[in-house]
């Protein structure tokens, strides 16, 4: 759905544009402008601080360093990491690393955020905290949040649930 792979059949359209018909360059620009990603394994760059990791997507938008850092610091504060701006991933817990990943996904205010098992590596209390956080940010900013999960507790946060088994939709409610 995010255009990371071409559909084997069918069509994926976002805002009337067919993702499958875009070339790699068009897809990269489309994702840059329209999509944020929250990954299960955080995918933070270990040599970069939290602030630098969150600022990274804004770099590709041509924003000045001052603006990137201001927006990133604000987003890190929003996810409860105001005091961790200069921390590197190895200096943070799993929940803190996931908050950095969330801040990175939302910092450019994309219309769509994909979250792939966003709580898969977290304990049950942190899972609840993270879900409340990403749902709250997406609703506040009127963003579409698409969550892929095997966790029924996480799925309960969704307005709509689509079950897929072996590549086929089995239930849509």
What's the gap between Cα 137 and its chain centre?
11
Work out the pLDDT band at 57, boundaries 50, 70, 90: very high
Task: State the Cα–Cα distance between residues 105 and 32, nearest whole angstrom.
Answer: 11
Task: State the Cα–Cα distance between residues 163 and 173, nearest whole angstrom.
Answer: 9
DSSP H or E run through 148: strand 144-148
Instruction: Please count the other Cβ atoms lying within 10 Å of the Cβ belonging to residue 95.
Output: 17
What's the gap between Cα 158 and its chain centre?
15
The residues spanned by each domain of the chain are 34-172
Q: Is the pLDDT of residue 56 over 90?
A: yes
* pLDDT given for residue 95 in this prediction: 92
pLDDT digit string, tens, across residues 132-168: 999 999 999 999 999 999 999 999 999 999 999 998 8
Task: State the Cα–Cα distance between residues 127 and 139, nearest whole angstrom.
Answer: 18
* pLDDT given for residue 15 in this prediction: 84
pTM (2 d.p.): 0.91
User: What average pLDDT does range 117-127 have in this prediction?
Assistant: 88
Work out the pLDDT band at 3, boundaries 50, 70, 90: confident
Task: State the Cα–Cα distance between residues 16 and 132, nearest whole angstrom.
Answer: 30
| Closest residue by Cα to residue 120 from 7, 22, 15, 43 | 43
Work out the pLDDT band at 77, boundaries 50, 70, 90: very high
Q: Is 2.30.130.10 the CATH classification of the domain at 34-172? A: no
Task: State the Cα–Cα distance between residues 138 and 65, nearest whole angstrom.
Answer: 25
* pLDDT given for residue 121 in this prediction: 85
């Amino acid at each position: 759905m995010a255009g990371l792979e071409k559909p084997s059949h069918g069509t994926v359209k976002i805002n009337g544009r067919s993702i499958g018909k875009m070339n790699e360059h068009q897809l990269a620009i489309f994702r840059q402008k329209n999509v944020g990603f929250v990954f299960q394994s955080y995918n933070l760059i270990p040599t970069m601080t939290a602030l630098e990791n969150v600022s990274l997507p804004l770099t590709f938008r041509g924003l000045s360093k001052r603006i990137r850092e201001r927006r990133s610091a604000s987003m890190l504060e929003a996810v409860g990491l105001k005091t961790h701006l200069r921390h590197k991933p190895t200096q943070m817990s799993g929940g803190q690393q996931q908050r950095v990943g969330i801040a990175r996904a939302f910092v450019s205010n994309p219309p769509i955020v994909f979250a792939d098992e966003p709580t898969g590596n977290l304990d049950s209390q942190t899972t609840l905290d993270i879900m409340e956080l990403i749902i709250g940010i997406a609703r506040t900013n009127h963003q579409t949040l698409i969550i892929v999960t095997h966790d029924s507790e996480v799925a309960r946060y969704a307005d709509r649930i689509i079950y897929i088994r072996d590549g086929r939709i089995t239930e849509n409610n």
